[in-house]
Amino acid sequence: MVQSYIAYLAFATVSNITIDQSALLALEAQISYDPKNVLTNSWSSGTSVCNWFGITCDSRHLRVTALNLSYMNIVGTIPPHVGNLSFLVSLSIENNSFHGSLPNELSRLYRLQHLSVGFNNFSGEIPSRMGLLSKLQNLSLNSNNFTRGIPPSLSNISTLEIIDLTYNKLSGSIPSSIFNISTLQGIYLRKNKLSGTMPFINTSSLRVIDLYSNKLSGELPEDMFSHLPSLQRLDLSFNQFYGELPSTLFKCKKLQYLSLWSNNFTGRVPQEIGNLTMLTKLFLGSNDFEGTIPPTLFNCKHLQILSFSANRFTGSVPSEIENLTMLTALDLNSNNFGGMFSSLEVFSHLRNFIICFEC
Give the pLDDT confidence of 279-318 residue by residue, as tens digits.
999 999 999 999 999 999 999 999 999 999 999 999 988 8
What span, in angstroms and rounded, lies between the C-alpha atoms of 82 and 93?
Answer: 13
Q: Please, are residues 273 and 291 in contact by the beta-carbon 8 Å criterion?
A: no
CA–CA distance from 228 to each of 124, 147, 163, 258 (Å)? 33, 30, 17, 14
Of 203 and 348, more confident: 203
Confidence of residue 200 (pLDDT cuts 50, 70, 90): confident
Can you give the pLDDT at residue 319? 80
Beta bridge partners of 208: 186, 233
Can you give the pLDDT at residue 16? 80
Distance CA 109, CA 258 (A): 37
CA 77 to chain centre: 24
Angle, alpha carbons 69-72-78 (nearest 5°): 50
Is the pTM for the entire model greater than 0.85?
yes
The Cα–Cα gap between 159 and 137 comes to 5
Q: What is the pLDDT of residue 341?
A: 53
Q: How confident is the model at residue 353, as a pLDDT?
A: 47
- Predicted confidence (pLDDT) per residue in 218-236, tens digit: 999 999 999 999 999 999 9
Which residues lie across from 92 on neighbouring strands?
Answer: 68, 116
- Band (pLDDT 50/70/90 cuts) for residue 339 is low
Section 160-182 average pLDDT: 96
Enumerate the domain spans of the chain: 2-347
pLDDT at 10 over 60: no
HEC sequence for the chain:
CHHHHHHHHHHHHHHHHHHHHHHHHHHHHCEEECCCCHHHHHCCCCCCHHHCCCEEECCCCCCEEEEECCCCCCEECCCHHHHHCCCCCEEECCCCEEEECCCHHHHHCCCCCEEECCCCEEEEECCHHHHHCCCCCEEECCCCEEECCCCHHHHHCCCCCEEECCCCCCEECCCHHHHHCCCCCEEECCCCEEEECCCCCCCCCCCEEECCCCEEEECCCCCCCCCCCCCCEEECCCCEEEECCCHHHHHCCCCCEEECCCCEEEEECCHHHHHCCCCCEEECCCCEEEECCCHHHHHCCCCCEEECCCCEECCCCCHHHHHCCCCCEEECCCCCCCCCCCCHHHHCCCCCCCCECCC
Report whether pLDDT(6) > 50: no
pLDDT at 8: 35
Cα angle at 54 between 53 and 56, to 5 degrees? 105
Q: What pLDDT is stored for residue 317 in this prediction? A: 83
Give me the chain's average pLDDT, please. 90
Banded model confidence at residue 260, pLDDT cuts 50, 70, 90: very high
User: Residues 6 or more apart from 353 whose CB is under 8 A from it?
Assistant: 328, 329
Higher pLDDT residue, 352 or 144? 144
Highest CATH level, class, for 2-347: alpha beta
Report, as an integer, the average pLDDT of 150-164.
97
**Of the given ranges (45-54, 114-123, 144-153, 208-217), which has the lowest mean pLDDT?**
45-54
Q: Determine the pLDDT at residue 169.
A: 98
